[in-house]
Amino acid sequence: MSELKLRFRKIAREEFDNAADWYEDRKVGQGVDFTDAVQHVLNDVALRPEYHPRVYEDIREAMVSRYP
């Protein structure tokens, strides 16, 4: 199986960037931790999409631990 190509829609990218900034503003380094945690999950979805539920057509859902 080949790795899926993931992409952020513009609004999702803005929300992600805002969340990383918000966490970093609360505690230095937490924005980086958040970014790393999200990237870990995205890598897993790309490598093993079948482990994550399909929520609509080709859109899958995955939770990031420690972050709502």
Q: Is residue 68 part of a domain?
A: no
User: Residue 2 has what pLDDT?
Assistant: 65
Domain that holds residue 42: 10-60
Q: Is residue 5 part of a domain?
A: no
User: Who has greater pLDDT, 6 or 42?
Assistant: 42
43-66 pLDDT, tens digit per residue, is: 999 999 999 999 999 888 999 999
Residue 24: pLDDT over 70: yes
DSSP bridge partners of 60: 54
Q: Is residue 2 part of a domain?
A: no
Q: Is residue 3 part of a domain?
A: no
Residue 1: pLDDT over 60: no
DSSP bridge partners of 56: 59
What is the number of domains present in the chain? 1
Continuous segment of H or E residues that includes residue 31: helix 30-47
pTM for the model stands at 0.84
- Chain-centre distance for alpha carbon 33: 12
> What percentage of the chain exceeds 70 in pLDDT?
97
